[in-house]
Structure 1
């Protein structure tokens, strides 16, 4: 179980984490929450309808991490549009889609990150340090989403666009300032992969 998730009888998953691993995941989840923001209804908590009917932004975020977490729904950034008219149409469709979906996407990502923080905060430590994290099937799905978002965020900061980028970054010298982020990216990927496996029928 150390370092990877294993399935639990009846659904869910478990993994042994040491104190440093718990601290790293929790810190990253808190940073993700801060990056995503408080949500559209935060300014009007007394009006529950305000958030329900709030429209989201129509322009993509300026932060590269948020652009990775909330990409345009139309058009491939790697491919040039066929014509200026096609580019205008793709922007218009993306803006409309973003306006009506981004708030819900942000809410879901916040809930996933909060689920990670809550489950880590509820851990009972063991004598030799660390703890065994046991997740229900629902909590496992939240963790998969949060781990994916954390990897996307780190990948955006490292400018990872292809698998080859990861291989090159992994071979960075130890004194390179990016090395800890690369190791976290790879470690979270391993956790995510084994957790996804436990959810497969």
Structure 2
């Protein structure tokens, strides 16, 4: 499995085989489905500009990881001597005015990944070289991070050590393929950061 390297002239490049392209595309499409649709393109632009987002945190653990409370949990606030009700109120207000934009950015990042992958044509050896320039490296970085956070939530990984411990799962464990994808995405993300 390939990792990003510096591209001559700037940006980053990675060689991906057909299976890697398929895995990345499938995971990213699933991420798009999880994030959900945005404001319709034919919506009134002024109304869209002032549209309020949700005030409640998502119930899905993966979405809660992608869209965390800005002011932490009420339990954590109480431990720090802060009024939990005030923390909930501040988080709700912050979420209401920022989550739509954050969802749009995450959606745009994921769409950039899908479009990049769709533009690849593997050669006779089944490998294609993906070259990222301009804003694409940052879009990919955002989407790779979102994919990792989503998978980590599904695997209940909250610390790096937990992810490392899952590598030793037996092959018959149904979590094994997604654990391997998680570590591959981690390597892709780290190599892209180093390249940039």
**TM-score normalised by structure 2 residue count:** 0.94
Provide Cα deviations, 1:165-186, integer angstroms capped at 9, x if missing partner.
1122111111000011100000
For residues 75 and 164 of structure 2, what CA distance do their matches in structure 1 show?
21
Report the Cα offset of residue 137 of structure 1.
3.6
- Asked if structure 2 preserves the Cα contact closer than 8 Å seen for 1:75 and 1:81, the reply is no
Structure 1 runs, 4 residues or longer, greater than 6 Å off: none
Q: Which residue of 1 aligns with 2:12?
A: 13
Q: Which residue of 2 aligns with 1:175?
A: 172
For residues 51 and 182 of structure 2, what CA distance do their matches in structure 1 show?
34
Ranges in structure 2 where 5+ consecutive residues have no aligned partner: none
Q: Which residue of 1 aligns with 2:102?
A: 105
Q: Which residue of 2 aligns with 1:94?
A: 91
Ranges in structure 1 where 5+ consecutive residues have no aligned partner: none
2:116 is aligned, of 108, 116, 119, to 119
Report the Cα offset of residue 192 of structure 1.
0.4
For residues 190 and 69 of structure 1, what CA distance do their matches in structure 2 show?
20
Q: Which residue of 1 aligns with 2:149?
A: 152
Report the Cα offset of residue 81 of structure 1.
1.6
For residues 77 and 87 of structure 1, what CA distance do their matches in structure 2 show?
4
Provide Cα deviations, 1:99-130, integer angstroms capped at 9, x if missing partner.
11000000000000000000111112211102
Q: Which residue of 2 aligns with 1:26?
A: 25
2:61 is aligned, of 60, 64, 67, to 64
Q: Which residue of 2 aligns with 1:184?
A: 181
Q: Secondary structure at the match of 2:79?
A: coil
Report the Cα offset of residue 3 of structure 1.
1.2
Q: Which residue of 2 aligns with 1:35?
A: 34
For residues 163 and 60 of structure 1, what CA distance do their matches in structure 2 show?
24
2:193 is aligned, of 188, 191, 196, to 196
1:132-143 to structure 2, matched below 5 A, reads 132-143=129-140
For residues 176 and 140 of structure 1, what CA distance do their matches in structure 2 show?
34
Provide Cα deviations, 1:9-33, integer angstroms capped at 9, x if missing partner.
2321000000000000000110000
**TM-score normalised by structure 1 residue count:** 0.92
